[in-house]
Structure 1
Amino acid sequence: MERNLWIDYLRTVITVLVVAHHAAMAYTTFAFFDTEVYIRSTSPVVDANRWIGLDVFMAFNDTFFMALMFFISGLFVFPALQKKGASAFTKERLLRLGLPFMVAVTFIIPFAYTPSYYISHNQFNFFDFVSDYLFVQQWPVGPPWFIWVLLVFNCIAALIPMHIYSAIGEKITRAAKLKPIQFFVVLFFIVLLSYAPVSIVLGHYAWTGFGPFDFQVNRFLFYFTFFMVGVVLGCTKWGNYFFKGKMLLGLPWSGWALKSLCAFVLFMLYTYCGIGVKWHGIIQSMVFSLLFVLCSICISFACLALFRAYLKKSNPAMDSLCKNAYGIYLLHYIPVSWLQFALLDTTLPVVLKFLIIFIVSLCSSWAMVYFLKKIKIVNRFV
């Protein structure tokens, strides 16, 4: 599959949302800081000032943006496998994903968590920090969790014979074109099956792992499903089957946006307003799963439809952001956490704090990556 401008721009916008998401984490009403083991905190820095609007913003992001990122990443797997072969593809992914991951968790993320150590201990000693970081906090992974999980998904994808992707892709595209409603229903239940059983047993926000190889265990199959749908569609000209003009599966982006809004409002009413609070635990969890998966698919479809319909012309600023998005993802946690720390004792309104941190973190990490990529080895892998 050839790279499409709108897909590149969508992936870049999701990266920007990741920066905004982390900038907001210090100011949600549910945020807390564990001074004993700060990795258990909701954010490296937690401010006393909160705003429920950022709860809504984070909940909205959480329902779809990483799932959509895995889907988009999957779209490029089959063409790369076809061009390079499984062995060369795996080696390339190990370098492109594995090496930046190890550099990030070894040098970048510890610096991002330095304010957390200072808040917990009211002082800083380098050797004590390193010891605490590795053995008490157990080597936190931070945002690069996505990179190592994506590497695992890529390696699994490389093991599957390519003719299987082609056979499944042909059936999926035909179903999407001829029976879009049935296709959506089947997709919904497949994704639900990948999410609900594990989440009902382990909880909806369950993390596990060893050292920096940490991940959200209840969403592993959920993300893998989105990724594999992307891989399968990547071996077809899926746009010719899913889209007709500005319509995706028979609906314009506004139609998907309306469905997304309805699904998300129901999700927020259920999770924040106590609807169903007296229901049995399994029923509660199942309803949560149904609404979460519905939001994930509808919002993802709305984004795909919107960007394909209207992003047809290149923009120099967006092109630069695209080229540096991977590096921004790797670096942004440093300015985010340090700016949150710097603004802890200020009396600025929460929204202003959030905007300052988001904008400065995005621009500073963008600038850092731009200049770092002038170094040949950095430019090769980032």
Structure 2
Amino acid sequence: LGLPFVIAAFTVIPIAYYAIALRHDPELTFASFWWKTITVGPWPSGPIWFVWVLLAFDLTASLLYRVSAHLVDPVNRVSLRGFDQPAVFWLLLVVVTAVVYVPALVHFGANKWFEFGPFSVQASRVLLYFAYFFIGVSVGAANFDRGILSAEGQLPKNRWMWVIATLVPYCLMWCMIYIKRAILGNPNVLPDWYQAIYGTFVVLFSAAILLAILAFFLHQKSPGPNLLDRMQADAYGMFLVHYPIALWIQYVLFDYSWPAIFKAAIGFVLTVLLSWGLTAMLRKIPGASHVL
């Protein structure tokens, strides 16, 4: 995680944001933009913020394991109950993430980021991310085939119920967005009550859509490898390299007066294909497959 983050911070991210900078200053050279980015800033991290945060969580988990290898046992027991009662596991997700996210959202708001050079993370969500990380570690620590993620459990059998459970808070989130825009006048600083209610709906939606997506993946039982299986080995590398590809495709398409849906389709397909191809090439470099 560390090596790809460092390499991407110095290469992938400046290449990506150079496309945006050219829109403001067409005469700007990449060399001057790159030097200003890493010396003066701002030095945005783009999507790779997730990589250093995951590395920090991994190091934290290693230290906690040294303290006690049984810290994951309580959540793992809930995972076992989730084999027959997925709603119990969903309730755990909701309660834990509501406790760590809603107060932080009220305190920091949605737009506050902790930033230091390319190291950045959204202030209100850092504990939310760690909660999901820790719960995921606990689920995978033991009894994987007898817990919430068993293909033989109730989760995949009730997948459409989880779709409904996802749509309800999703619609409520849109109701809150309407209130913010049409009633509150879209203020820069939202009232605490609004943040608390909206944050609660986000928590409910996040927990439900997680289980809905997993339920459909667990239900899929194709006899041979499908497209996603073939993509699996390259998926992490695609995540690392896709951002400049996506932004430069948008840069090229910007001046064409084509329908937005058409541009979006071109951007999506080309980004997937080009980032997949580039990752496959990079993984042929000796040793690269260990970090990509």
Fold-level similarity (TM above 0.5): yes
Is 1:99 matched with 2:3? yes
Shift of residue 289 of structure 1? Answer: 0.6
Is 1:218 matched with 2:124? yes
What is the match of residue 70 of structure 1?
none
What is the match of residue 93 of structure 2?
187
Deviations 1:305-353 (Å, cap 9, x if unpaired)?
1110124544253233111111111111111111111111101101111
3-state SS, counterpart of residue 115 of structure 2: strand
Change (3 A) 1:132 1:254: same
Answer yes or no: is the 8 Å Cα contact 2:173–2:198 preserved in 1: yes
What is the match of residue 73 of structure 1?
none
3-state SS, counterpart of residue 138 of structure 1: coil
Aligned-residue sequence identity (percent) comes to 28
Change (3 A) 1:245 1:349: same
Answer yes or no: is the 8 Å Cα contact 1:248–1:301 preserved in 2: yes
Paired amino acid for 1:331 = V
Partner Cα separation in structure 2 for residue 177 and residue 344 of structure 1 = 49
Shift of residue 167 of structure 1? Answer: 2.9
Shift of residue 354 of structure 1? Answer: 0.8
Change (3 A) 1:313 1:158: farther
Structure 2 portions without partners, runs of 5+:
none
Answer yes or no: is the 8 Å Cα contact 2:83–2:153 preserved in 1: no
Deviations 1:77-114 (Å, cap 9, x if unpaired)?
xxxxxxxxxxxxxxxxxxxx000110111111111111
Deviations 1:230-279 (Å, cap 9, x if unpaired)?
11111122442325746229x61100001111111111121145489459
What is the match of residue 171 of structure 1?
77
Partner Cα separation in structure 1 for residue 123 and residue 76 of structure 2 = 31
What is the match of residue 232 of structure 1?
138
Structure 1 range deviating more: 349-358 or 367-376? 367-376
What is the match of residue 14 of structure 2?
110
Partner Cα separation in structure 1 for residue 162 and residue 274 of structure 2 = 34
Q: Which has the higher contact order (CA 8 A, sep 6+)?
A: 1
Map 1:33-44; keep pairs closer than 5 Å.
none
What is the match of residue 271 of structure 1?
177
Answer yes or no: is the 8 Å Cα contact 1:191–1:225 preserved in 2: yes
3-state SS, counterpart of residue 315 of structure 1: coil
3-state SS, counterpart of residue 215 of structure 1: strand
Map 1:133-144; keep pairs closer than 5 Å.
133-144=37-48
Deviations 1:37-90 (Å, cap 9, x if unpaired)?
xxxxxxxxxxxxxxxxxxxxxxxxxxxxxxxxxxxxxxxxxxxxxxxxxxxxxx
Structure 1 portions without partners, runs of 5+:
1-96
Shift of residue 150 of structure 1? Answer: 0.3
Q: How many residues align?
A: 285
Map 1:241-320; keep pairs closer than 5 Å.
241-242=147-148, 243=150, 245=152, 247-248=154-155, 252-272=158-178, 274=180, 277=183, 281-315=191-225, 317-320=227-230
**Residue 325 of structure 1 is aligned with which of 231, 235, 240?**
235
Structure 1 range deviating more: 190-199 or 309-318? 309-318
Shift of residue 166 of structure 1? Answer: 5.0
Map 1:38-187; keep pairs closer than 5 Å.
97-161=1-65, 162-165=68-71, 167-176=73-82, 181-187=87-93
**Residue 343 of structure 1 is aligned with which of 230, 250, 253?**
253
3-state SS, counterpart of residue 376 of structure 1: coil
Answer yes or no: is the 8 Å Cα contact 2:90–2:208 preserved in 1: no
Answer yes or no: is the 8 Å Cα contact 1:169–1:236 preserved in 2: no
- CA RMSD in angstroms, aligned pairs only: 2.4
Partner Cα separation in structure 1 for residue 69 and residue 287 of structure 2 = 35
Answer yes or no: is the 8 Å Cα contact 1:166–1:236 preserved in 2: no
3-state SS, counterpart of residue 208 of structure 1: strand
Shift of residue 169 of structure 1? Answer: 4.1
Change (3 A) 1:304 1:316: closer
Change (3 A) 1:108 1:177: closer
Paired amino acid for 2:114 = T
Answer yes or no: is the 8 Å Cα contact 1:269–1:275 preserved in 2: no
Change (3 A) 1:145 1:244: closer
